[in-house]
Amino acid sequence: MRRAAVALSLVVMVGLALIIPGAFAQQDPIKIGVIQPLSGSVAASGNYIRMGAEIARDWINGRGGVLGRQVQLLIEDNKSDPKEAATAAEKLIVKDKVPVIVGAWGSSMTLAAMPKLEEYGVPMVVETSSAASITKRGNPWVFRISPPSEMEALGLERYLKDLGVKKADFLAVNTDWGRGAVGAFGDILKKSGANVGLAEFMEQAATDMNAQITKVKAGNADTLFITTAVEQITLVLRQAQEQRLTRKIVTTGGSSAPSQLIKQAGPAAEGTYHILFFLPWFPEAMPDGKLAKAFVDEWNKRGHPFDGLTEGFRGHDGVLTAVEALKTAGKPDPKAVRDALWKVQLMGLNGPIKFEKDGPAGKESGQSKPSIFLVQIKDGKIALPAFAKK
């Protein structure tokens, strides 16, 4: 009789295990794809974003994960190359079966990956790219939390009078990002009554910008807008100082890493202005001061370079957005996550994240409205200009 009871119990247990696998084995983690430039010309930025994404993952898993499962980041290197970005997107979707991706830093890289999203039906949270075409092109699987250049330019518009910009030249990286920034900021300057001068471009891997600076120096503009990654900005500032270029300098795109510029460009960075989307020097000035302070503290605790915080926050907010969509969807299904992204409302490090429709009717992408800040390098330190403190 006792043997029969034991046998019956075993049959019941086996049956339950077949019906409810999770009851006897820990469920597999939920995968989130991440595409960043971990090598190549803009690798520093991509690795900072990876670091921020890992902090978000660890915080989320420490709170129990999402849907009762841990979060696993599958991080792919796009090697600062658009073709590699497309390949990485396809691998994450086809082989790894991720329900959502965060990526892919540069606009050209993101644009190259976007057809794969539409082909296979998987959403991507765009954390950095700013070319207008990303949301204007018509891809319903794209949700951007970073500002397009037009939105960034509008954020600067209120400071143009205080900055005293009467005529501006442009020096930008020759990518979708750089070209888009020149157009967007040029339009805002014209609208405000300022004049637009030269538009000079440099290749992403270029290290000698003396020819472009010589052309700028020959003009009569009072301001130079620079759009590129921090490594190239450093070289531009040094070479501009060597040529004794006297211009008010404003960097766009939020990738200038002013602390890094102070170290690497030294006096050549003095007086320059920088548009940013996160202020690690003044976390209390962010929309959620407590969250910002906690992130800065955790970043420092891990021994990450402080200079990387102005990029690293993007990784945190990208993963946080993806996880919130997974939670709202109730399952790691790409279409359900895409639909859930329209319902996301949360507070990120940059500020509130909520998507509005942008692009052609019926194929709209999602665009959030980020917070935009302006800082200046003054006396070798990062400062909030008096007019920007308001």
3-state helix, strand, coil split of the chain in percent (to 5) is: 45, 20, 35
120 exposure class (CB count in 10 Å sphere: 0-12, 13-18, 19+)? middle
CB atoms within 10 A of CB 61: 16
Note the pLDDT tens digit of each residue in 16-33: 444 444 433 468 999 999
Peptide bond into 104 cis (omega under 30): yes
Rounded Cα distance between 329 and 324, Å, is 9
Indicate whether 58 pLDDT > 80: yes
User: Which of 215, 145, 219, 227 is CA-nearest to residue 186?
Assistant: 227
DSSP label at residue 88: H
Alpha-carbon gap, residue 182 to 132, rounded angstroms: 12
Write the pLDDT tens digit of every residue in 192-213. 999 999 999 999 999 999 999 9
Q: What pTM was computed for the model?
A: 0.89
CATH number of the 151-276 domain = 3.40.50.2300
Q: What is the pLDDT of residues 224-267, one digit of tens each?
A: 999 999 999 999 999 999 999 999 999 999 888 999 999 999 99
CATH level 3 topology of 30-147+287-367: Rossmann fold (3.40.50)
Over residues 156-183, the pLDDT tens digits come to 999 999 999 999 999 999 999 999 999 9
Name the DSSP class of 28.
P
Topology match between the domains 30-147+287-367 and 151-276? yes
Query: pLDDT exceeding 90 applies to what percent of the chain?
Result: 91
Q: Is 46 exposed, middle or buried (0-12, 13-18, 19+ CB in 10 A)?
A: buried
> Cα–Cα distance between 316 and 350 in angstroms, integer?
10
Q: Token digits for 246?
A: 């006297």
Q: Which residue has the higher pLDDT, 321 or 254?
A: 321
Domain boundaries, given as residue ranges, for the chain: 30-147+287-367, 151-276
Pairing of strands 273-276, 373-378: antiparallel
Taking the C-alpha atoms of residue 252 and residue 238, their distance in angstroms, rounded to an integer, is 18
Mean pLDDT of the chain: 93
Distance (Å, whole) CA 332 – CA 97: 10
Rounded-to-integer distance, Cα 64 and Cα 80, Å: 34
